[in-house]
Structure 1
C-alpha cells in the first residue's frame, strides 16, 4: 500500500530521451554551426595564452592589476600565478583561463542584450524569468548530459556547458541595472531630444554599469566552477588535473589542482570586483 502503482508512473525519462534523440537526428548540423565560433575563439585565446612566456604573463598581469585595482590586488594576482607556475600547473591553468574567458565573452555577448531586452519589455521578462529560475536551480552536472548528446565530448562542449551555466547572472543583473536607472535621468535625455538608442548607450548603460559589472563578476565565478565540472566530459585544464588525482587516489595531485583553481578564482574575483566598485 505504501508503493506508488507502476501503471500510474509517467515515463518522463523516455519522453526526454525521445526529444533529445529527435534533436540530435534533425538539428545536428545546426548545433555544429553553433559550435564553430566558440571553437575558433577558444583556439585563438588558448594559442595566445600559450604563446606568452609565464614570466611575461605575470609581469603584464601585475601591471594590469595595478592599473585596474591597486597594488594590493596586483601583488595578489602576481603571487597567485607565480605559485601556480611553481606547482608545475602553468599549461593547465592557461587552458582553464582560456575556457573561462571564452565562456565569459560569449556570456556577455548573449546576456547583456537579453538583459536589456528584458528591462525594456515586461512581457519578455515574464517569460524569461522562470527560464532563468530553472537554469539556476538545475544541478550543474545535469547540464553535461544534453551537451554531450548534442555536441559530443571534449573541451568545446565543456565551454558550451560553461556558457549556459554561467549565463543567468549576466541577464538578471543587466536587467536590474537598466530598470534601476533613475527616471529623471532618462527624462532629461528625452528633453534634449535623445533617441532611444542614444538614451540606452549614453544614459541607461553608464548608470547601470556597476550592476552589469557585478553580473560579470558572478558570471566569471560560475564559469570557473563549471570549467572544473566540465572536465567530466573531457574539458582540459585544472579540472582534469583534479579529476585524475581523484581517479588515482592521488591526494597530492588533486590538492595542487584544487589549490590552483582557488588561487585563480580569488585573483579573478578580486580584479573584477574592484573594477566594478570603481566610481563611474
Structure 2
C-alpha cells in the first residue's frame, strides 16, 4: 500500500490520469490525498470532478478556495467569474450528487501514520496544530448544516486580516477559511496579505511567507499544502512540502509518495 499527496488538479484531467498511470495507482492498495482546488481554470473541470468522485473510496481531499467558490456559485451566493470553467459542472445532470459530496470535504486532514497534516494553503504560523484542527472543525460543521447558506453569503472578503478569539459568526468563519484556503504572506502579528500572489522572495513590505515566520508553532508535523504555484514545489523549509507545481499554468502535476517522500510528476 502506498499513500500519495497530490497538488492542485484545477480541472486538468489528462494530467491527473497521466499521474495515476505513472504511479501505477491500484485502488486495492493505494490512497490519494488531494490538496484541494480540484476544479476551475483548467480544460475539464467536470471530468476531473467526476474522476475524483469515481475514486472516492481511495481519495481524501481538503477544500480549496476554488472548490468553495464553486459551491458558493451553486448556492447562489455569488456569480461565476470571467475566467471560471465551472459551467459544465453547474449544468451537469449529476450536479447535486457531485456538489453534495464535495461540500462534505474537510479543511484539514491528519495523516497520523506519516506524522503529516494536509491543508490547501497551509497552517497559520501562530496557531498550534490543535488550534488549527479545532478551527477547521468549526467551519466543517457549518458546511454540513443549515448555516451553510449564511456561510457562503459572507465568505468573500479580506477582513478581518488576523485572528481574534472574540470573533463570532460569519466573520469568524471567513477568517478561518481565508487562513486555510487563501493564505500566502503574513506579517509578524500573523495578519494576512491576500492581494499578493507572487513568489516567496518578493513579499509585500512587512510580510513574509507563512512558513518562514520565526514563531511558527506547528513544527512537530510535516505540513503538506498546495495553492501557491509560484513556489514551484519548493519552500526551503524542512518538513514543509509545497505540492502545487502549476499544472494549470503549463507546469506539472506532482504526487509526493509519503512512504519515502519521492516526487512523481506529469508535465502539463
Q: Which has a greater percent of strand? A: 2
TM range (shorter): under 0.3
Structure ID, larger Rg: 1
Q: Which has a greater percent of helix? A: 1
